[in-house]
């Protein structure tokens, strides 16, 4: 397969990494083995994103609704995140990757939050790929928290209600400063957003692939980018814009 050409590269790719459990079940393995294998796919995709010059890669790692899963699975997922940051932070830093975490940071386990903050702090001045980790993230929760911040400012007389524009709302979301995703990929054949970047996805191109997340790799990633490159983005207008005009 040819490499996707630079001219049609999305600037921001966001991925709903789904299907770890089904990948494991298909092999008669416990779900946790699927999550473990999923981390390898994360490494592959982060490397590929850096290689092909994507500016922002957002990975949905744990949703605000994933707490509904059995305690043992939640605990496995937390353990894997911790292990990933401990093991990979130095490499990512060396590769000039900047890490940013989105999601609610309140009430996170005391062994998780410091690691996330360390990852952000260590890599804050890096200039290659920005890796956005959506952890304890839910779009409705993010919007509710943004509205609370805005409402407090209105009550304090700092802003008028009329000043609440889409741009002001953007500025109060966890994703402040990050361009909207050009391309959102979901693996595992499910075709829904599951509370991921609902506001930011207004004009994102959506690509659903049947493979389970642990099977996602460089070639599949490149082929989703090729699919994206064939899409025509209009942003509500009439003039067809090539995908590269994204933002
Ligand atoms: C995605 O795989 C990983 C997380 C949601 C953390 P799942 O665990 O949702 O796997 P399936 O969808 O049950 O197969
Ligand atoms: C979305 O997947 C969350 C992550 C990938 C972290 P889920 O597996 O939680 O979504 P639903 O429940 O199938 O919609
Ligand atoms: Mg799932």
Read off the pLDDT of residues 35-69 as tens digits, 9 standing for 90 and up.
999 999 999 999 999 999 999 999 999 999 999 99
Cβ proximity of 115 and 85 under 8 Å: yes
Strand partners, 13: 57, 183
Q: Is the pLDDT of residue 72 over 70?
A: yes
Q: In angstroms, rounded to a whole number, what is the distance separating the alpha carbons of residues 247 and 243?
A: 9
Rounded to 10°, the helix 71-94/113-123 angle is 20
Q: Which of 200, 226, 173 is nearest to 4 (CA)?
A: 226
Among the bound ligands, the one closest to the CA of 60: 2
pLDDT reading at 2 higher than 60: no
pLDDT of 201 > 80? The answer is: yes
Q: Which atom belonging to ligand 2 lies closest to the Cα atom of 16?
A: 5
The pTM (predicted TM-score) of the whole model is 0.94
Across the chain, mean pLDDT equals: 94
Range 25-31 average pLDDT: 98
Measured in Å, residue 57 CA sits from the centre of ligand 2 at 18
- What is the mean predicted confidence (pLDDT) over 223-229? 97
* Ligand 2 in reach of 195 Cβ (< 6 A): no
Cβ pair 226, 1 in contact under 8 A: yes
73 CB under 6 A from ligand 2?
no
Nearest-CA residue for ligand 2 atom 8 is: 18
Please list the active-site residues: 18, 66
Q: Domains of the chain (ranges plus CATH)?
A: 9-138+180-229 (3.40.1180.10)
- pLDDT of 229 > 70? The answer is yes
User: How high is the pLDDT of residue 1?
Assistant: 39
Give me the sign of the Cα torsion angle 120, 141, 204, 178. negative
Nearest to 120 by CA among 130, 110, 106: 130
d(CA 93, CA 69): 32
Q: CA–CA separation, 182 vs 165, rounded Å?
A: 22
Read off the pLDDT of each residue in 226-239 and give the average, rounded to a whole number.
90
């Amino acid at each position: 397969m040819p490499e996707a050409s630079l001219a049609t590269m999305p600037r921001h790719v966001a991925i709903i990494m789904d299907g770890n459990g089904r990948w494991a079940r298909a092999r008669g393995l416990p779900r946790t083995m699927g999550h473990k294998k999923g981390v390898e796919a994360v490494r592959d995709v982060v490397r590929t994103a850096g290689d092909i010059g994507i500016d922002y890669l957002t990975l949905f790692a744990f949703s605000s609704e994933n707490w509904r899963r059995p305690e043992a699975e939640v605990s496995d997922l937390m353990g894997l995140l911790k292990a990933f940051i401990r093991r990979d932070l130095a490499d990512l830093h060396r590769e000039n990757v900047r890490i940013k975490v989105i999601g609610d940071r309140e009430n996170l386990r005391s062994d998780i939050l410091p690691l996330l903050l360390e990852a952000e702090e260590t890599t804050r001045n890096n200039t290659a790929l920005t890796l956005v980790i959506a952890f304890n993230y839910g779009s409705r929760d993010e919007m509710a928290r943004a509205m609370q911040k805005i409402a407090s400012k209105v009550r304090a007389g700092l802003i008028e209600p009329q000043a609440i524009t889409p741009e002001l709302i953007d500025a109060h979301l966890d994703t402040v400063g990050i361009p909207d995703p050009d391309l959102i990929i979901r693996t595992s054949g499910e075709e829904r957003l599951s509370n991921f970047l609902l506001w930011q996805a207004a004009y994102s191109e959506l690509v659903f692939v049947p493979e389970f997340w642990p099977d996602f790799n460089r070639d599949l990633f490149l082929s989703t980018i090729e699919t994206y490159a064939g899409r025509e983005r209009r942003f509500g207008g009439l003039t067809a814009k090539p995908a590269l005009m994204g933002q």
